[in-house]
Amino acid sequence: MHIPLEKFKKIISRFKQLKIAVIGDIVGDIYIYGKPFKLSREAPVLVVRHDSETILPGSAGNTIHNLAHLGTQVFPLSILGGDEAGRSLMGQFSAMNVEMEGLIIAESRNTITKTRIMAGDEHTSKQQVIRIDREVKEPLQKDLEDRMTAYLNHLSDKVDAFIVADYGYDTATPLLLEKLKTVASRKIVVADSRYRLHLFSGMTAITPNESEAEVLAQETINTTQDAVRVGRRFVTELDLKAVLITRGNRGMVLVERSGEFYEIPICGSDEVTDVTGAGDTVAAVLTASLAAGASFYEAARLSNYAGAVVVMKSGTATASPDELVHVIEQDWTSQI
């Protein structure tokens, strides 16, 4: 389906007027860089000499970063620990000019982190040697859930749309999800959930990747027809307006409540640099586009363009409005 270039640009230009809330699991992505220089005498492993380290906002934090980079006003709703990782992430979110009221510091909890040891010689790309995950094992305390619920109620009439970035750490509790189902009757609510898609009935849309969709459907997706059939099941069984299934280098499949479906091929090269966080970008751009007045198909196309930008970057990455316009113009030029 043809969409005029100016239509895309008009949607993108509206991003800066939007207010979008992000509810979910913020993870600190910690990267420790070093140079391997010998084998350990203690065990058959490399010894890596520490060079530098950094922490970046991952999972729901990456969704927040993506929305902020698009120019939207972002209202996060999440829990961070009262530790060094939590303080660092709070500082980064403050620098992004996001609204800080819904970022709750829980002194009794640790911040969820994924620490990657990246080793390599000075002039070579670093390779991940091991990843160490620090998770939160105890359920969310009632007082924290009450604070989140109160802030969600406050946001329900204030923002244009909600994204639930659910990575299996249960920040989005069943109570919060029930509240969001009520909100979804009058607001856009998009769910990006890794393990609990079955809980997101009544939302506007979900954005599973192919493997996540296969788990929920309990069947294998090999073809576009398979993806369409699964998408139609989800729309009906979960009472959704749309499902966008991302399929890696096979593009995307959008299925709407009407039964209409669209196969959207990948944009640009299928030789990607890094797919880390691409799903966060897709959910962010889809939601922002819908809130800006785009149709589901227009929003899916824009999220596909955004995905093409970020997979060519290393690590969790974002796409700016200018980068979006540039990749759209390149795609148009290639079709002339």
Measuring CA to CA, how many Å separate 261 from each of 1, 230, 242, 304?
A: 11, 11, 9, 15
**Of the candidates 63, 89, 121, the residue with the CA atom closest to the CA atom of residue 281:** 63
Q: Which residues contact 90 (CB under 8 A, 6 or more apart)?
A: 80, 100, 103, 105
**Please, what is the Cα angle at 32 between 31 and 36, to 5 degrees?**
135
Helix, strand, coil percent values for the chain (each to nearest 5): 40, 25, 35
Q: Which residues contact 266 (CB under 8 A, 6 or more apart)?
A: 249, 250, 251, 304, 307, 308
SS3 232: helix
In the DSSP assignment, the letter for residue 267 is P
Q: How far is CA 80 from the centre of its chain?
A: 18
SS3 264: strand
SS3 199: helix
Catalytic residues: 280
Q: Which residues contact 330 (CB under 8 A, 6 or more apart)?
A: 268
In whole angstroms, what is the distance from residue 309 CA to residue 298 CA? Answer: 17
**Under 8 Å between Cβ of 297 and 254:** yes
Q: Return the amino acid letter for 99.
A: E
Q: Which residue has the tokens 């139609």?
A: 232
Q: How far is CA 178 from the centre of its chain?
A: 21
